[in-house]
Structures are given as C-alpha cells and as structure tokens.
Structure 1
Amino acid sequence: MIASLEQSQQHRRDVLRLLLWITFIGGCLFSVVNTIRGLWWLAGLEIVYGLFSLALIRIIRTTTYIQIWTLAYLIPFFSIMMYALYIPNTSSSTFVWVLTIPVLSYLLLGRKVGFWSSLVFVVAGIVIYHFRFMTGNFPLNVATTLNITLSSIAMMSFAHIYERNREMNEERLLELAGTDRLTGLANRMKLVESFARLSALASRNQVPLAVALVDLDFFKMINDKYGHGVGDEALCHSAELLRSKTRTTDMLARVGGEEFALIMLSATRSDAVGHLEEIRKLFHKSPIWVGSQKVPVTFSAGVAELNADGVDLDTLLSKADGRLYQAKRSGRDRVISVDDVQAAVE
C-alpha cells in the first residue's frame, strides 16, 4: 500500500518535471518575443521564472517536500499569467493560459488544494479579463462573459470530476491490495500497516495490546478428504466466525493458508486468551456441513503481548507462532499465551 502511494507521488513528479521543461522553454521564447514588443517587465519575469523552473527540475527528483515545491512553482506561474493578462499591449488570447489552471492545479495538487487554487486564480483571471478587454458593445460583452465564464466552469468541473474519480479508484485499488481475495479479510500487508497505527495508539494512551495467531486444526485433512472446495468453505466459515467476534478497534487478517492474525487493542495476554476461548467455543457450536455430514472445525492459537514479548510486529508474531505450535503439540484446540519454561515455573 505504501508502495502504491509512492508510485502515485512519482507520477506527480514526472508530470511536474515535464511541465518545468515546458515552462523553461516557453519562458525563454516568450521573453524574447516580449522584449521585442517592449514589454520589459514581463520579459524579465518570464526569463527569471524560466531559469527558476530549470533549477527546480533537479530539486523535485529527490525532495520529500513535493507539495511545497509544487506550490512554490504554481503560485508564481499563475501570478505571472494574471500579470500578463493585466498589463497594456497584451493580447486577449493570453486568457487561454488561464483555462489551464484547473487542469494543472488538480493534477499536481489534488482535489482539495486544487479546487481552491483553481477558484482563486480562475476568478481573478475572469475579473482581469473583463477589466482589460470589455468594450462598449453590450451584446458582445454579454457573449464574451458567457463564453469565458462557462468555459472556465467547464474546465474546473471536468478537472474536479476527474480527480475525484481518480482518488476513488486509487482508494479502491489500495483497499483491494490490502484484502485477502478468498475471505475478504485484511492481508499481511494491511496487517503491518494496522499494527503500526494500533501500537502507536497503545503507546500513546498507555494501554496494552495483544497479538494472536490462529491456525485451523487438521485443515490439510479436510482438504484431502473433502476437496479444496470444502477447504475454501472452511476458511470462509472460520473467517466469518472470527470476524463476528472481532471488535471494531481490533484488526483481523488472514496471513497464511489456514492461519489468521488478530491484533487486540486494550487487551493483555490474559484478556486475549479469554476472548479467544469464547471464539473457540463458538467454533465448537458452528461446524460446517458437507451434504448431511457434519465436519467440525477447531483451531489452535498463540498469544503475545506488546512490550512484554516484543515491540515490533515480527517479534510478536514469532512469539505467538511459537506458542501456537506449542498448542498444536499439546493436543490442538487450545490457546496458549506463555512459553513452556514460563508455564513450568508458574
């Protein structure tokens, strides 16, 4: 998921880099043209801004502050457009550049910042255009106003709809990337992300956090005896039972073939054991049926606690995994939260 977000940022870097090259070349060309026309201030701004764009190309390749540098580029760029539109002896065709503002804003800044950037500069462009180019011909003025206003609204609307749909599609893809296709539970990637969030929350609020690994018993035998279709049914059935007992503050994920992980916020090891025992009893009451034959499904589980058993997810999962296999060796269908040595001492 993080990689997907980085890829999205890289896309914006690539677009911005191309735009910077265009700005550099355009700034050089327009500065020459406007020097010939006697528009010294505009020509000076264009050549300086073109050189600034050239320098910015190297910066945006590696900077972590891409949004700040994008704003540092776009705000002067749009402001120069307004100035070029305002000063005497410029052509009304300069307004064409104003219509690129919504596209550039939404593409480089996203929907929220892009909206406000577009609104401010497009409205400013329309006001300046009316101040500079309106004549005494009332019907022509009305037609001109309608043309530039509706075209500006259309460009903003199209850019807004496109960016909103792009964000929704990106969120959906990220959600799918973090979801196990068979059971609909989160997968290991989403588990890692959720642990970072929940462990930070536990530390900040000074509450315990437990991690459990749950593994279905004799799952290979179910697959071999009844087929993979029934095996998949057993996995989905088990996922639903686990999900039905998972609190909204917790995180449930499928991390292997028949293995599930559960992160429980505000839960000690003993709290987690009590919770898993309730789920284990629910499994006993809820077998799956193959035709008229009842097929029991049970699980073994191991539990670890944040700080007491480790501070990172890999360590906690390793601890829980060791206790899970201790539960398997002890006869299955049980929950263990302490190591063999600790159990002997107690």
Structure 2
Amino acid sequence: MHSDFDHNTQYRRKVLQVLLVITFVGGFVFGLINIYRGLYILAGLEMGYGIFSFLVWRRIMNTTRFQFWVTAYLLPFFSIMMFALSVPNSSQSIYVWILTIPVISYLLMGRKPGLYFSIVFMTLGICIFHLKFLTDDIPLNVTVSLNVILSGVLMIALAHVYERNRETNEERLLELAGTDKLTGLANRMKLIDSFAATSEYAKRHNLDMSVVLFDLDFFKNINDLHGHHGGDAALCFVADFLKKHTRKSDLLARFGGEEFALVMQGSKPKDSFQQIDSLRKKLLETPFIYNKQTVNITFSAGISHYGADGVNLDDLLVKADERLYLAKEKGRNCVVDHNLKD
C-alpha cells in the first residue's frame, strides 16, 4: 500500500538526513584536524565530502531518485573510510568507523544491497587493517585478526537479521492493514491501492476488466432474526462462498457493511455478466445454516466495465453502484450491467 504506507522510503530519508548532518560536521572537523597533522589529501577529501553532504541534505527529502543519492552518498563515504585507514600516521581507532558500514548500508539500502555493500567494504577494510597494523608478534597478530574479523562478521550478521525481521514485520503490518478483520478478505483500502497496478496491467496488455459491487438482499432481516453474531456469520459465509467461486487472479474485497466488491481482469463484458449471474444462482442454491436454521441469502449486483464506464476506480464504482440500485429496484436477487441499465 504505497500510497498510505510509503513508510520504508520516508524512514530511510530521515536516517540519511541525520547521517548527512553528521558527515557535514564531521567532514570539516576531521578535515581541520588532518590539516594540522599534515594529511592534506585526506583533509581535502573530508572537507569536500562535507560540502557534498550539505548539498545532498538540501534536496534529499524531495528527490524522486532517492536510491541514486543513497548510492552517491555511500560510495565516497566508505571509500574515504578505506583511504583514511590506509594513509600513514592513521590510527587503529579508524576501524571503529569501518564497523558502522553494515548498519549504515542496511538502514539506507535494505537487505540485499546492504549485504553486498557490507561484504565488499568490510572485507576491504579488514584487509587494509591487516596489511597496516599487524606486527611480527604472531600470537598478538592472531588475537587481533580474530577480533577484527569476528567483529566485522558479527556486525553484518546482526544488521542482516534486524533488517530481515523489520521487512517481515512491515509486510505483516501491511497485510493486516489491507485485510478486513471479520471476513479475511481485502478491505476497501487494499482494493483502492491494488486497482492502480491492476488497471495499469490491463491497459498495457489491452485486457478487459470489470468492477462488480454486490449487496446482500434484506441483510437487516438476518440481523433482526439472528442477532449481530448471526449477521457476522452470514457475512463470513458469503465471503467464503465468493472466494471459493471466483478466480484467484480476481481481487475480492469487503467494501463495507454487507457490500462486497470484485475486480475481474480479462473478462469480456458479456462473460462478466454470465459469471456473476451464475454466482448469484449458486448462492441461491447454497443455503446458510445458522443455529440449525436454514437462512436463504441472495445478492443484488451491479457491473461496470473498464474503458466504457471510466478508467479510474471512483468512476467505475459509481457506475457499478448505480446499476446495483437498479438491480434492487428490479426486485433484488439479480444482476445489472450496462446492457440492461435502460
């Protein structure tokens, strides 16, 4: 649900904003320190990168090319870390910054790109560390080497597990947000969000598409006779029935109250009408049993067609709703499409 849950990108934009401020300030602070130490090339790189960070910070919250700027930010950032670790007179303390690579990579790039960046730059940093700081003391070298390697592997593993769990939890939240709690079908929000991709696919491949609105006939009588628990059970019964007798490629949703919606892709107008009318007849022949009592449930339906009745969901729902009310005026338990509206 990108329209309502563009959480991922916004979250990463805010993380990058913080990092850009830190690197802007840090670039000038470390640049001045390294000028004093006589490391002029490193100082120039750090201060130049600080200016670059400021320029990126000014536009990062509005750019549509977020991933491009993330890559443009991280490549020089990590490369300067490697260079700082390798220059003469640098200290082992720079390796602390190398350990931040997995965290930063996963936070800004996600699981797979974050893993690739982490492996490449952590491996490079560990190799530079070994070439520069290991001594002739073999036992000490083994101890230092193990600490450096294991700390690097641990940081990558922790960042990977965290990001995988975060993605799983986010997917679960999105699924719950788009699911009707009572029936388990998609809800109105999921219908709206999914229609954009479905209609784009239909347009690209020149496919027919229909939108159907169902309304259970005399549903208030079920509530009055059997209580709200009976009404809820009836809704679940109809939801299961519709799910069982519609295609997996179609999008079925509870639209609200006793209304259901169905987006049928690849069905010509005539076929859509026949399929929904056949569904109506099957429901009439499938009684709902509640507290050992047989409850006959029927529905009225209105159908609209992509292209002929509009190309956006609102227009299609308006037309389907108009025909749904025509079906009710005709005595209920019937289906109306554009061929019958007059």
TM-score per shorter chain, which class? over 0.9
Deviation at 1:276, TM superposition (A): 1.3
1:88-122 CA-partner distances (Å, limit 9, x unpaired): 11101111110000000000111111111111100
Corresponding residue for 1:12?
A: 12
Following the alignment from structure 1 to structure 2, what is the Cα–Cα distance between the partners of residues 268 and 28?
Answer: 66
Following the alignment from structure 1 to structure 2, what is the Cα–Cα distance between the partners of residues 277 and 292?
Answer: 28
Following the alignment from structure 2 to structure 1, what is the Cα–Cα distance between the partners of residues 14 and 208?
Answer: 44
Corresponding residue for 1:92?
A: 92
Corresponding residue for 1:178?
A: 178
Instruction: Check the 8 A contact 2:27/2:47 in 1, yes or no.
Output: yes
Instruction: Check the 8 A contact 2:249/2:265 in 1, yes or no.
Output: yes
Corresponding residue for 1:159?
A: 159
Deviation at 1:314, TM superposition (A): 1.1
Deviation at 1:290, TM superposition (A): 2.8
Q: How does 1:164-243 map onto structure 2 within 5 Å? A: 164-243=164-243
Instruction: Check the 8 A contact 2:280/2:299 in 1, yes or no.
Output: yes
Of 202-211 and 127-136, more deviation after overlay is shown by 202-211
Secondary structure at 1:300 match in 2? strand
Q: In structure 1, what residue type is equivalent to 2:122? A: V
Q: How does 1:26-65 map onto structure 2 within 5 Å? A: 26-65=26-65
TM-score by length of 2: 0.97
Deviation at 1:266, TM superposition (A): 1.0
1:57-110 CA-partner distances (Å, limit 9, x unpaired): 111121111111111111101000000011111101111110000000000111
Instruction: Check the 8 A contact 1:24/1:51 in 2, yes or no.
Output: yes
Corresponding residue for 1:290?
A: 290
Of 105-114 and 27-36, more deviation after overlay is shown by 27-36
Corresponding residue for 2:325?
A: 325
Deviation at 1:135, TM superposition (A): 0.9
Instruction: Check the 8 A contact 1:106/1:160 in 2, yes or no.
Output: yes
Secondary structure at 1:264 match in 2? strand
- Stretches of 4+ aligned residues off by more than 6 angstroms: none
Following the alignment from structure 1 to structure 2, what is the Cα–Cα distance between the partners of residues 338 and 9?
Answer: 42
Q: In structure 2, what residue type is equivalent to 1:321? A: D
Secondary structure at 1:331 match in 2? coil
Shift of the 3–315 alpha-carbon distance from structure 1 to 2, 3 Å rule, reads closer
Matched, 1:124 2:124: yes
Deviation at 1:246, TM superposition (A): 1.4
1:239-276 CA-partner distances (Å, limit 9, x unpaired): 00000011121110111100011111111222112111
Corresponding residue for 1:315?
A: 315
Q: In structure 2, what residue type is equivalent to 1:83? A: F
Secondary structure at 1:180 match in 2? coil
Instruction: Check the 8 A contact 1:186/1:254 in 2, yes or no.
Output: yes
Shift of the 199–4 alpha-carbon distance from structure 1 to 2, 3 Å rule, reads closer
Following the alignment from structure 1 to structure 2, what is the Cα–Cα distance between the partners of residues 163 and 331?
Answer: 56
Q: In structure 2, what residue type is equivalent to 1:230? A: G
Following the alignment from structure 1 to structure 2, what is the Cα–Cα distance between the partners of residues 142 and 120?
Answer: 22
Instruction: Check the 8 A contact 1:4/1:174 in 2, yes or no.
Output: no
Following the alignment from structure 1 to structure 2, what is the Cα–Cα distance between the partners of residues 57 and 306?
Answer: 43
Deviation at 1:37, TM superposition (A): 1.2
Corresponding residue for 2:147?
A: 147
Instruction: Check the 8 A contact 1:323/1:339 in 2, yes or no.
Output: no
Q: In structure 2, what residue type is equivalent to 1:242? A: L
Secondary structure at 2:220 match in 1? helix
Q: In structure 1, what residue type is equivalent to 2:139? A: P
Corresponding residue for 2:133?
A: 133
Instruction: Check the 8 A contact 1:241/1:282 in 2, yes or no.
Output: no
Contiguous gaps of at least 5 residues in structure 2: none
TM-score by length of 1: 0.96
Deviation at 1:339, TM superposition (A): 6.1
Corresponding residue for 1:254?
A: 254
Q: How many percent of aligned residue pairs carry the same amino acid? A: 53
Following the alignment from structure 2 to structure 1, what is the Cα–Cα distance between the partners of residues 308 and 75?
Answer: 52
Following the alignment from structure 2 to structure 1, what is the Cα–Cα distance between the partners of residues 292 and 38?
Answer: 93
Instruction: Check the 8 A contact 1:305/1:316 in 2, yes or no.
Output: yes
